[in-house]
Amino acid sequence: QALQMSTLGVEGEGIWLALGTIGMLLGMVYFMAKGWDVQDPEEEEFYVITILIAGIAAASYLSMFFGFGLTEVELVDGTVLDIYWARYADWLFTTPLLLLDIGLLAGASRRDLATLVTIDAFMIVTGLAATLMKIPVARYAFWTISTIAMLFVLYYLVVTVGEAAADADEDTQSTFNVLRNIILVAWAIYPVAWLVGTEGLGLVGLYGETLLFMILDLFAKIGFGFILLRSRAIVGGDSAPT
């Protein structure tokens, strides 16, 4: 019973956690193999960051699969929620790394990168607070704060980082546009998934929610990394003449 609880999950969602682990590991191995011979230090930086993103996610997924990253939160009305907290540990590190990837590609300033990463970390920490609160109105209040922070992140990415990218060469601009669109579409679904899922209104159960997060996580990390590392834009950094 204990083994079944830990590896299949509460509603059989363990299958999606297993697939998530495998997907992240495959992505990581692919990025490592592709980056093996890279010599250029600026190009290498993109590989290191992107491999780290996949590795952190693989560790997080594996911990959730084994039931380590799972806890219970009891609300004031007695409802007990099953919470995969390990996601937040993953996101706290990987969302700043994703922003670093696209920010470095665009040639954004250190100051703009620091601003972006700070608001992003605030978004994840307030999202975790929303998830762990016992009073429903407090949960939605923190969800709202976190979602506002996300809108700032997306705005800053489009406007400020976008301005930096506009000065770059054509390869960089087109890669930036694709990666920016991946972030705009994928990231915006996370707060909706939280809201309709078990942490919020409970319209979708843990099984469906875990599947949705797995697809989003693979798209936002591995799909993103795949496009970034295949692009000519990362060769020789942003200073390469075309």
Which amino acid does the sequence have at 141?
Answer: A
For position 58 contacting ligand DD9 by CB under 6 A, the verdict is no
Work out which of 63, 146, 175, 231 binds ligand RET, going by CB under 6 A: 146
* Identity of the residue, 30 or 152, whose beta carbon is nearer to ligand DD9 in the bound complex: 30
Site for ligand RET in 186-225 (CB under 6 A): 187, 190-191, 194, 217, 220-221
| CB contact at 8 A, 47 and 163 | no
Q: Minimal CA–CA distance to 225: which of 82, 24, 79, 22? A: 24
Query: Residue count at the site for ligand RET (CB under 6 A)?
Result: 19
For position 51 contacting ligand DD9 by CB under 6 A, the verdict is no
Report the distance separating Cα 178 and Cα 83, nearest Å: 33
| CB contact at 8 A, 199 and 5 | no
For position 218 contacting ligand DD9 by CB under 6 A, the verdict is yes
* Identity of the residue, 146 or 231, whose beta carbon is nearer to ligand RET in the bound complex: 146
Site for ligand RET in 22-51 (CB under 6 A): none
Which residue shows structure tokens 């560790």? 59
Kindly indicate which of the ranges 15-23, 43-51, 143-151, 158-166 contains the residues binding ligand RET, using the contact rule CB under 6 A: 143-151
Site for ligand DD9 in 3-42 (CB under 6 A): 27, 30
For position 207 contacting ligand DD9 by CB under 6 A, the verdict is no
Kindly indicate which of the ranges 45-53, 166-174, 203-211, 218-226 contains the residues binding ligand DD9, using the contact rule CB under 6 A: 218-226
* Identity of the residue, 112 or 217, whose beta carbon is nearer to ligand RET in the bound complex: 217
Partner that binds at residue 219, options ligand RET, ligand DD9, none, CB closer than 5 to 8 Å by kind? ligand DD9
* Identity of the residue, 95 or 147, whose beta carbon is nearer to ligand DD9 in the bound complex: 95
For position 176 contacting ligand RET by CB under 6 A, the verdict is no
Partner that binds at residue 150, options ligand DD9, ligand RET, none, CB closer than 5 to 8 Å by kind? ligand RET
**Which residues contact ligand RET (rule: CB under 6 A)?**
57, 91, 94-95, 123-124, 127, 130, 143, 146-147, 150, 187, 190-191, 194, 217, 220-221
